[in-house]
């Protein structure tokens, strides 16, 4: 236990200290890498709530991220180019809540349908809804369709200047800490216990008088809203959004981050996204064929490293 | 409405549907019997196309290449089953998805390294390069008719195999109750390997049939695999009949959407907007159908009877 | 140890003004997915240009860093960010795809670097989004299809069916041919593009045939071009629906089509601002050396990539390696006298070439290889139509 806590602390401190060091060393690109890592860490953490603790294998989580990003891009687009007065805004106090609200609503509607199914049908129907959003944005000519949309102005927030790489980074970092705390609190609450109970044995929880469908739906909505928030950050970070970010392979990558780090652990998804991004960066520097070693690593992790990194570090996979 | 065009488009839709069926039937077999989610099924489709393309140049004849390539595709499938799938049977679907996602990355990159990024155009013998006139101005490329014929023949063969042979009996039994089959003393390992190889041959055949039309290209499997999954989910996992009906339905919707939806949209919006949104909406239609089917029948249209 | 280091550092600083500068060029192209066939051709051309230059612009060392855009705007932008921020390149060149260029432009221009497109020419960047630090060695997307529209008028084509992929350049190409074509557009299809592009055109070809048009205009770059030509041949449309294409039949698809024996493509006409048979010394050296080194004809992508490196080298010499002299670099670019393989051309206010456009025909060369030759000049010194929307003068 102690080791795990030390590692947790070390990772979080490292993430807080390294970016200013990168700037000081004249390596702003590594700050970009760290920002991407932290944002994907939030998205993976949100997925962990339903996948890790709830056992709900969502293969469409990238859709929430994409919706969140478009909730930043579309208001900014209208603010610059006119039209859509109702949403036109550069104000982050409007854009970010919009991202959370729309993705929560999308999660509520699709979750209500998806949760009627089980097993592999659930995997595939979540993917189907993500593909629908993907093609939906491809079909909208005004927002760039396949070409994507450049966000010319980042969200305007009081006291924080998102155009400053370090301020943007620490805004994301603070959001990450909040996301980790939220998921941890939920997981350890009575609500989380019911959720994990339903993952192990749904019938038993139903017999005990819990409406597990409602519990799962609530978790699904919270998870979707958090992923939407991560999407709003991602839009502000990349200043470019396209349907591509909702492609099914992106959802697969998020799943991989959770599993790689360790599902149903607080820090696992963050560790997973860190390792994912670092390995991707290192390998793609060496060869354009980097997908080959990457794929082999993925297979190896699935075959041999059960419980992910956190499992290897010292805690067995729970719930099973 | 131009009925001649409608007829031709229906044939095109049928051809696409049968191609989808070839990919989906292998997927539904593996899924239904082995309870194994194989995302890498599309990569076997791609390998089939590449192997057939290379053999066409080596042997100088497309048909000959196809005949030689089929067993190779089966062997490849058997290899994938041995190395990757077998250790994963006991795991959950999540591990299947991730493991085979890794296989996609590996096989796609290997194809890139072996055959280069360019893709290979496959030459057809002259008798397949022409058109068949169906009367008046109606004509269809003869090779597309061959795809339809091969697709229908394979479908018939599969129905015979599943419904009237010992292997088929085991397959049906396996789809309904796996432990029972194992308890009956059937060599379940061999059965699984055979089923996987059969699935790979079907996917490979689809790739070989499409290669002379679109070329063999890296990543070609990834665009079809998701559609194939939609087909088997709509049809009901493990159901050959369901896969057949759903494949034709989806092939038809896709083709009709691509050819007529922009005209319909053009009535209410600008031509460019209609041109842009129509293909995307017809692609979306497939997923909408899937969501509606699952919302109403969470087990698909034709779920296997006992589970 | 520390002392030696300090001494070394001091020595470097002392000799710095006299020493040759090291100029870094980032080159963004597609090196993965099926579209890598284009990227590899461009990379070959860049390598050849560097070989011809001896790796130097005058006495200054040139380094090229290649980056892969993965055929996706998002990946392309990430690759560009990395070149600008980590490698701190002085120029970013390349870009096959219009949507990748549009996504990446801010990353380069906001950092005060020079952006040189060696292919993509989206209308926005020739017009409202033009920039004093953005130059092109290719064309604006609309120009080549406009030349084709003119050819169609000359050949008396009255009605046309139009097909292109659904992305920024596809829409520009359609706009371009519709701009000059005087007849009627009877049908239009924009198909799915990207890594999972639509490659089976059965439904579209059936619609095109049923439309009764005099001809079909298409734009399918890269692997999709070969696939389209084959299906067009299989559908037997050669006699009833003549093919007029831009950027579809090129030095990349012709060898494959030849290997597969698709002779229906012989004699087909395309428009372009460059051709391997253009008669100027730079082009002759480029084409013969490229063929000697790589065993195939260079594509127009290669020609433009080769030009982009030479243009940068020329500007580096003009400012004597002083990368802070942005005005000097811009002035050198503007002159366009680096010895382009296209022959001489000039730059408009929006830094897009004002150049000739030729009609080319697919022929068999003396060695039996399929290639193209110039038939006639369609436009002389043609400027794109978006130049007037550009605020630069």
Query: Contact at 8 Å (CB) between A125 and B290?
Result: yes
The pair of structure tokens assigned to B182 is 């194992």
Among residues C296, C268, C307, C249, the alpha carbon closest in space to that of C118 is found at C307
pLDDT at A1: 53
Interatomic CA distance for residues A292 and A279, integer angstroms: 12
C57 — contact with chain A (CB < 8 Å)? Answer: no
Q: Are strands C353-364 and C370-382 parallel, antiparallel or unpaired?
A: antiparallel
Residue C86 CB partners (closer than 8 Å, separation 6+): A27, A28, A29, A30
Set of chain A residues whose Cβ sits within 8 Å of the Cβ of B99: 298-299, 302-303
Inter-chain residue contact C102 with A150, CB threshold 8 Å: yes
How large a percentage of chain C has pLDDT more than 70?
95
Q: Which of residues 109-138 of B touch A (CB under 8 A)?
A: 109-110, 112-113
pLDDT in tens, A36-91: 999 999 999 999 999 999 999 999 999 999 999 999 999 999 998 888 888 888 99
Using CA coordinates, name the residue in chain C closest to A291: C32
Interatomic CA distance for residues A11 and A3, integer angstroms: 12
Set of chain A residues whose Cβ sits within 8 Å of the Cβ of C99: 146-148, 242
Question: Whose structure tokens read 């395309």?
Answer: C270
Range of the domain at A157: 10-247
What CATH class is the domain B19-131+139-296?
Answer: mainly alpha
Buried b (16+ CB within 10 A) or exposed e, C32-44: bbbbbbbbbbbbb
Using CA coordinates, name the residue in chain C closest to A234: C74
Of the residues C169, C202, C207, the best mutation for testing chain B's interface (the one with the most B CB atoms within 10 Å of its CB) is C202
Query: Contact at 8 Å (CB) between C67 and C83?
Result: yes
pLDDT at C15: 44
Inter-chain residue contact C82 with A29, CB threshold 8 Å: yes
C34 — contact with chain A (CB < 8 Å)? Answer: no
Among residues C29, C195, C99, the alpha carbon closest in space to that of A145 is found at C99
State the DSSP code for A247: S
Predicted complex ipTM exceeds 0.90: no
A145 — contact with chain B (CB < 8 Å)? Answer: yes
Residues forming beta bridges with residue B133, ordered by sequence position: B139
Among residues B172, B171, B297, the alpha carbon closest in space to that of B235 is found at B297
Inter-chain residue contact C72 with A145, CB threshold 8 Å: no
Interatomic CA distance for residues B278 and B257, integer angstroms: 7
Instruction: State the nearest Cα–Cα gap between A37 and chain B, in angstroms.
Output: 20
Q: Which of residues 291-310 of A touch C (CB under 8 A)?
A: 291
pLDDT at C363: 94
Question: Whose structure tokens read 């190889």?
Answer: B197
pLDDT at A59: 93
Inter-chain residue contact A238 with C86, CB threshold 8 Å: no
* A291 domain residue, yes or no: no
Query: Contact at 8 Å (CB) between A148 and C103?
Result: yes
Interatomic CA distance for residues A50 and C93, integer angstroms: 44
pLDDT at C116: 97
The residues of chain A scoring below 70 in pLDDT are 1-2, 314-320
Number of helices (H) and strands (E) in chain C: give both, helices first: 13, 14
pLDDT at C95: 96
Q: Going residue by residue through chain B, which has 307 residues, state the pLDDT in tens, using 9 for 90 and above.
A: 578 888 889 999 999 999 999 999 999 988 888 889 999 999 999 999 999 999 999 999 999 999 999 999 999 999 999 999 989 988 888 999 999 999 999 999 999 999 988 888 888 888 888 888 877 777 888 999 999 999 999 999 998 988 888 888 877 777 667 677 777 777 778 888 888 999 999 999 999 999 999 889 888 998 899 899 999 999 988 888 999 999 999 999 988 888 888 778 878 777 777 777 777 787 788 898 888 898 888 888 888 765 4
The domains of chain B are located at 19-131+139-296
pLDDT in tens, C125-174: 999 999 999 999 999 999 999 999 999 999 999 999 999 998 888 988 99
Inter-chain residue contact C85 with A29, CB threshold 8 Å: yes
Q: Which of residues 191-220 of B touch A (CB under 8 A)?
A: none
Among residues A203, A89, A72, the alpha carbon closest in space to that of A149 is found at A72
Band of pLDDT at residue C18, cut at 50, 70 and 90: very low
Set of chain B residues whose Cβ sits within 8 Å of the Cβ of A138: 280, 283
Which of B99, B230, B300 is closest, CB to CB, to A299?
B99
Among residues C273, C309, C353, the alpha carbon closest in space to that of C93 is found at C309
pTM for the predicted model, two decimal places:
0.90
pLDDT at B1: 52
Interatomic CA distance for residues A11 and A16, integer angstroms: 9
Instruction: State the nearest Cα–Cα gap between A150 and chain C, in angstroms.
Output: 6
3-state secondary structure of A27: coil
Chain A / chain C CB contacts < 8 angstroms: 59
pLDDT at A319: 37
C110 — contact with chain A (CB < 8 Å)? Answer: no
B230 — contact with chain A (CB < 8 Å)? Answer: yes
Which of C32, C36, C74 is closest, CB to CB, to A148?
C74
Inter-chain residue contact A139 with B277, CB threshold 8 Å: yes
Instruction: State the nearest Cα–Cα gap between C292 and chain B, in angstroms.
Output: 21
Q: Is A126 exposed, middle or buried (0-12, 13-18, 19+ CB in 10 A)?
A: buried
Torsion of CA C327, C331, C332, C335, to 10 degrees: 170
pLDDT at B300: 87
Inter-chain residue contact A29 with C81, CB threshold 8 Å: yes
Residues forming beta bridges with residue C115, ordered by sequence position: C92, C134
Domains and CATH numbers, chain C: 2-139+279-354 (3.40.50.2300), 143-272 (3.40.50.2300)
* A283 domain residue, yes or no: no
pLDDT at A317: 40
Domain tally, chain A: 1
Instruction: State the nearest Cα–Cα gap between B205 and chain C, in angstroms.
Output: 17
Instruction: State the nearest Cα–Cα gap between A127 and chain B, in angstroms.
Output: 9
Task: Please provide the average confidence, as pLDDT, over all residues in chain C.
Answer: 90
- Helical segments of chain A, H only: 2-24, 28-48, 61-81, 92-114, 119-139, 165-188, 190-200, 202-207, 212-238, 248-261, 268-286, 291-304, 308-313
Q: Which chains touch B (3 or more CB pairs under 8 A)?
A: A, C
Q: Are strands C269-272 and C243-245 parallel, antiparallel or unpaired?
A: parallel
Using CA coordinates, name the residue in chain C closest to A150: C103
Inter-chain residue contact C34 with B223, CB threshold 8 Å: no
Instruction: State the nearest Cα–Cα gap between C32 and chain A, in angstroms.
Output: 7
Inter-chain residue contact A256 with B98, CB threshold 8 Å: yes
Torsion of CA A259, A262, A266, A270, to 10 degrees: -60
Q: Which chains touch C (3 or more CB pairs under 8 A)?
A: A, B
Inter-chain residue contact A238 with C73, CB threshold 8 Å: no
pLDDT of C5 above 60 = no
pLDDT at B251: 93
pLDDT at C11: 47
* A287 domain residue, yes or no: no
Interatomic CA distance for residues C256 and B117, integer angstroms: 13
Band of pLDDT at residue C1, cut at 50, 70 and 90: very low
pLDDT in tens, C204-254: 999 899 888 999 999 998 878 888 988 998 888 888 899 999 999 999 989
Inter-chain residue contact B12 with C203, CB threshold 8 Å: yes
Set of chain A residues whose Cβ sits within 8 Å of the Cβ of B98: 252, 255-256, 259, 298, 301-302
């Amino acid at each position: 236990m102690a080791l795990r806590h030390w590692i947790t602390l070390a990772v979080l401190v490292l993430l807080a200290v390294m970016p200013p060091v990168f700037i000081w060393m004249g390596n702003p690109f590594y700050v970009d890498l760290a920002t991407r890592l932290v944002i994907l860490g939030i998205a993976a953490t949100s997925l962990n709530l339903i996948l890790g603790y709830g056992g709900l294998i969502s293969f469409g989580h990238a859709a929430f991220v994409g919706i969140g990003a478009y909730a930043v891009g579309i208001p900014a687009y209208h603010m610059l180019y006119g039209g859509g007065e109702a949403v036109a805004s550069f104000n982050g106090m409007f854009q970010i809540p919009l991202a959370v609200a729309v993705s929560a609503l999308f999660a509520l509607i699709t979750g209500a349908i998806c949760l009627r199914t089980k097993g592999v049908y659930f995997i595939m129907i979540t993917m189907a809804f993500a593909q629908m959003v993907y093609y939906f944005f491809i079909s909208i000519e005004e927002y760039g369709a396949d070409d994507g949309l450049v966000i010319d102005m980042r969200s305007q927030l009081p006291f924080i200047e998102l155009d400053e790489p370090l301020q943007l980074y620490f805004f994301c970092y603070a959001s990450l800490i909040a996301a980790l705390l939220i998921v941890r609190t939920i997981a350890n609450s009575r609500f989380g216990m019911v959720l994990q109970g339903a993952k192990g044995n749904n019938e038993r929880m139903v017999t005990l008088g819990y409406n597990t469908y409602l519990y799962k739906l609530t978790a699904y909505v919270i998870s979707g809203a958090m992923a939407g928030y991560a999407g709003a950050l991602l839009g502000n970070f990349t200043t470019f959004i396209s349907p591509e970010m909702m492609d099914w392979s992106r959802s697969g990558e998020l799943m991989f981050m959770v599993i790689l780090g360790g599902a149903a652990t607080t820090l696992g998804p963050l560790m997973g996204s860190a390792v994912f991004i670092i390995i991707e960066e290192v390998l793609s520097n060496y060869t354009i064929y980097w997908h080959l070693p990457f794929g082999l690593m993925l297979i190896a992790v699935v075959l041999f490293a059960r419980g992910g990194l956190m499992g290897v570090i010292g805690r067995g996979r729970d719930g099973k | 409405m131009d009925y001649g065009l409608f007829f031709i488009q229906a044939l095109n839709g049928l051809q696409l549907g049968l191609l989808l069926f070839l990919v989906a039937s292998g997927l539904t077999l593996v899924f239904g019997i082995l309870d194994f989610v194989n995302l890498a099924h599309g990569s076997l489709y791609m390998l089939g196309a590449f192997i057939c393309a290379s053999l066409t140049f080596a042997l100088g004849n497309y048909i000959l290449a196809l005949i030689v390539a089929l067993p190779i595709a089966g062997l490849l499938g058997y290899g994938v089953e041995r190395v990757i799938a077998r250790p994963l049977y006991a795991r959950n679907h999540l591990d299947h998805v991730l493991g085979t996602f890794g296989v996609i990355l590996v096989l796609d990159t290997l194809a890139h390294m072996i055959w280069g990024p360019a893709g290979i155009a496959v030459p057809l013998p002259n008798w397949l390069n022409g058109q068949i006139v169906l009367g008046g101005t109606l004509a269809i490329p003869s090779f597309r008719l061959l795809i339809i014929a091969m697709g229908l023949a394979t479908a018939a063969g599969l129905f015979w195999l599943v419904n009237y042979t010992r292997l088929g009996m085991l397959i049906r039994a396996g789809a309904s109750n796996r432990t029972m089959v194992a308890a009956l003393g059937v060599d379940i390992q061999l059965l699984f390997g055979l089923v996987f190889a059969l699935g790979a041959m079907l996917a490979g055949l689809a790739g070989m049939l499409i290669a002379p039309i679109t070329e063999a290209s890296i990543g070609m499997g990834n665009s079809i695999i998701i559609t194939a999954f939609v087909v088997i989910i709509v049809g009901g996992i493990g159901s050959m009949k369901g896969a057949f009906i759903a494949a034709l339905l989806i092939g038809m919707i896709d083709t009709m959407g691509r050819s007529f939806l922009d005209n319909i949209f053009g009535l209410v919006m600008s031509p460019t907007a209609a041109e842009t949104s129509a293909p995307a909406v017809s692609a979306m239609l497939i997923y909408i159908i899937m969501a509606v089917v699952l919302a109403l029948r969470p087990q698909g249209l034709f779920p296997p009877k006992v589970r | 140890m520390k002392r030696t280091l300090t001494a070394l550092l001091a020595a470097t600083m002392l000799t710095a003004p006299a020493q040759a500068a090291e100029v870094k060029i980032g080159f963004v192209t597609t090196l993965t997915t099926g579209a890598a066939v284009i990227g590899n051709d461009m990379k070959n051309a860049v390598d050849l240009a560097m070989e011809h230059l001896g790796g130097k612009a005058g006495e200054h060392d040139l380094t090229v860093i290649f980056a892969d855009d993965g055929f996706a705007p998002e990946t392309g932008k990430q690759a560009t960010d990395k070149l600008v921020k980590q490698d701190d390149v002085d120029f970013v060149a390349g870009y096959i795809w219009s949507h990748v260029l549009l996504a990446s432009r801010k990353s380069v221009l906001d950092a005060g670097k020079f952006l040189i497109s060696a292919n993509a020419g989206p209308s926005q960047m020739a017009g409202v989004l033009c920039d004093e630090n953005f130059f092109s060695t290719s064309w604006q997307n609309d120009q080549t299809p406009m030349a084709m529209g003119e050819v169609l008028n000359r050949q008396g084509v009255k009605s046309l069916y139009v097909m292109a992929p659904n992305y920024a350049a596809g829409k520009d190409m359609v706009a371009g041919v519709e701009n000059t074509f005087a007849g009627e557009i009877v049908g239009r299809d924009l198909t799915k593009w990207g890594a999972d592009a639509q490659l089976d055109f059965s439904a579209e070809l059936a619609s095109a045939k049923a439309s009764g048009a005099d001809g079909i205009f298409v734009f399918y770059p890269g692997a999709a071009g070969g696939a389209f030509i084959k299906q067009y041949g299989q559908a037997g449309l050669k006699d009833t629906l003549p093919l007029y294409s831009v950027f579809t039949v090129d030095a990349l698809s012709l060898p494959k089509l030849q290997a597969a024996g698709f002779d229906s493509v012989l004699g087909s006409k395309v428009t372009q601002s460059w051709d391997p048979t253009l008669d100027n010394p730079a082009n002759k050296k480029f084409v013969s050396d490229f063929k000697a080194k790589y065993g195939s004809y260079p594509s127009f992508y290669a020609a433009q990539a080769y030009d982009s490196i030479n243009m940068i080298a020329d500007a580096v010499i003009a400012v004597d390696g002083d990368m802070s002299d942005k005005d000097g670099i811009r002035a050198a670019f503007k002159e366009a006298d680096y010895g382009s393989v296209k022959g001489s051309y000039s730059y408009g206010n929006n830094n897009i070439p004002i150049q000739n456009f030729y009609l080319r025909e697919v022929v068999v060369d003396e060695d039996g290889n399929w290639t193209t030759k110039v038939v006639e000049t369609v436009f002389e010194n043609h400027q794109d139509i978006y130049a007037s929307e550009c605020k630069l003068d």
